[in-house]
């Protein structure tokens, strides 16, 4: 794990779903000083932490369904 992405949310289920899908779909590539190259999916390098501030639009249920891909928490930020 190289990077943590924190996503605060409140009643933005549709936008949040698109944002998370976009993060998970990203790829990466880089080259070190020995000219070795790496390629892969972004989700292999990051953890996505969603802080849900007591949404009432179904955000929690959507996050529960995605719990295998992301970490989520409740309460105020």
* Cβ-based burial of 29 (10 A; exposed 0-12, middle 13-18, buried ≥19): exposed
Position 72 scores a pLDDT of 61
7-37: pLDDT as tens digits: 999 999 999 989 988 888 887 777 778 888 7
Which of residues 46 and 20 earns the better pLDDT score? 20
pLDDT at 13: 92
Output the pTM of the full model. 0.68
Candidates 30, 9, 28; CA nearest to 18 is 9
Closest-CA residue to 52 (of 35, 34, 64, 38): 64
In b/e form, how buried is each residue of 3-22, taking b as 16+ CB within 10 angstroms? Answer: eeeebebeebbeebeebbee
The predicted structure's pLDDT at residue 73: 60
């Amino acid at each position: 794990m190289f990077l943590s992405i924190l996503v605060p949310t409140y009643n933005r289920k549709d936008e949040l779903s698109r944002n998370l899908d976009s993060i998970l779909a990203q790829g990466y590539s880089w080259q070190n000083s020995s000219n070795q190259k790496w390629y892969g999916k972004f989700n292999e390098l990051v953890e996505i932490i969603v802080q849900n501030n007591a949404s009432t639009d179904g955000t929690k249920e959507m996050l529960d369904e995605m719990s295998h891909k992301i970490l989520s928490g409740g309460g105020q930020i």
